[in-house]
Amino acid sequence: MKIIIFGCGKIGRTIIESLLDEGHDIVAVDSDRSVIDEVTNIYDVMGLCGNGVDSNTMDEAGIEDTELFIAVTGSDELNMLACFLAKKMGAKYTLARIRNPEYNDESLGMMKQHLELSVALTPEKLVAKEIFDNLRFPSSVKVETFSNRNLEIVELHIGESSPFAGITLSELRKKYTESFLVCCVLRDGNAFIPDGNCRLEVGDKIGLTASRTEILKLLKSIGLPSKQPKSVIIMGGGRISYYLSKMLLSSGVNVKIIELDKKRCSELALALPDATVIMGDGMKPEVLLEEGIDSADAFIALTGKDETNILASFFVAGQTMSTIISKINRSDLASTAEKMGLECIVSPQQTVSNVISRYVRALHNSVGSNVETLYKLMDGKTEVLEFKVSEDFKYTGISLRELSLKSNILIAGIIRNRKPIIPTGNDVILSGDRVIVLATGHFLSDLADIIQ
């Protein structure tokens, strides 16, 4: 697929890297020559210095035969205008990053219609939703939901005191009555799909599939905290904090935001009257202690600096047993922080990459099935995809044990009539089902791709 990406900042580069890995033909456009030079030196893409709202630049980029145009510059209005021009000049689909909270769902709907915009992407809102979902399972590392939360996958670390340590998966099934499936294991940097003989070890990260009810039961059975937080302290008052605070406040959670900038504090206090907004430096231990970090249920570090978020999170970890979530964009810093003990990390770039990868694959799908959801788990080494099964899928009604699946492929769940099924070999796939597939080392754009 030919794709033009206008705007090569952090988000743009993450998208470029993700789509190149999937074999697409990328043209990178940016108005800064040094940015284009750097991108073309790093990635195998065609680079073009110019403006995405200039028709000559778009002609040179080959807009007339482009299937997808993505605008992710720092300006919402520029992104929307560029997408409008791209559509008029021949781009089949357009995607714009729109960050301003003033563009609510209703106004975005109107703009999408009148600008013929295929997708309006708000990264900060997506990250806020990811954090909000993670807070529903305080013991988990990461939570991904499928089919309106009918089925969920959570990542858990196996610590020294974990009852999962040293036990095989077959023993695990006998020991616990809850309906769940350990669908993936990350060990020493390698992800794999385990069988019943796999013995879990201290230091493993596991992916666990179940309904939300069953996950909560399991967490309680193994003695991990599963209560949702009642009080949350957020460090940093950016757009993610705004969206997250709105979600938390609507759920009855007490929210306190610590922000250094006086003007931003005033804006947040006006926009979020039910939240407590504190002007202060969250990097100062005395500020965090004075604001009650030792008694809060969760601490979320959301400043614009990875290093600040990491250091503040480590300090809080030494003061409390509360849930700690850190926003870290740089993958190298995220990996180091995780090895040092920060278990729950979110990345806006990775979140956006997941959404765009899902959309691109959906454009590629055949008539038999459709990519509804796509997530990367286990430090990006494993993909989990949700497919909607149509009447044209050729393998319906066949028991799973009779299907010849490719290696490193697992059917992790089936959702039928909104009811989750943790599949066994006797289960079958039916038309209308939503099927959750976990894959390592495979590129899947269609459900039929899992068959040998």
Task: Evaluate whether 216 touches 226 at the Cβ level (below 8 Å).
Answer: yes
Task: Evaluate whether 227 touches 192 at the Cβ level (below 8 Å).
Answer: no
Average pLDDT along the chain = 90
pLDDT band at 232 (very low <50, low <70, confident <90, very high): very high
Q: What local confidence, expressed as pLDDT, does residue 227 receive? A: 73
Q: What local confidence, expressed as pLDDT, does residue 364 receive? A: 67
Mean pLDDT across the stretch 224-229?
75
Domains and CATH numbers, the chain: 2-121 (3.40.50.720), 128-221 (3.30.70.1450), 231-321 (3.40.50.720), 361-450 (3.30.70.1450)
Q: What local confidence, expressed as pLDDT, does residue 101 receive? A: 77
Residue 217 has pLDDT above 80, yes or no: yes
Give 413's strand partners. 436
Joined together, the tokens standing for residue 56 give 């000559």
pLDDT band at 150 (very low <50, low <70, confident <90, very high): confident
Distances (CA, A) of 399 to 170, 183, 195, 395, 428: 21, 19, 19, 9, 5
Q: Of 180, 163, 167, which is closest to residue 221 (Cα–Cα)? A: 163
Mean pLDDT across the stretch 321-335?
86
Query: Among 140-144, 264-268, 308-312, 347-351, where is mean pLDDT lowest?
Result: 140-144
Each residue's pLDDT tens digit, 52-111: 999 999 999 999 999 999 999 999 999 999 999 999 999 999 999 998 877 766 666 777
Mean pLDDT across the stretch 117-124?
88
What percentage of the chain reaches a pLDDT higher than 90?
A: 61
Residue 359 has pLDDT above 90, yes or no: no
Q: What local confidence, expressed as pLDDT, does residue 367 receive? A: 43
What percentage of the chain reaches a pLDDT higher than 70?
A: 96
Length of the chain in terms of residues written: 452
pLDDT band at 32 (very low <50, low <70, confident <90, very high): very high
pTM of the model: 0.82
45 alpha-carbon distance from chain centroid: 25
Residue type, 41: N
Q: What local confidence, expressed as pLDDT, does residue 63 receive? A: 96
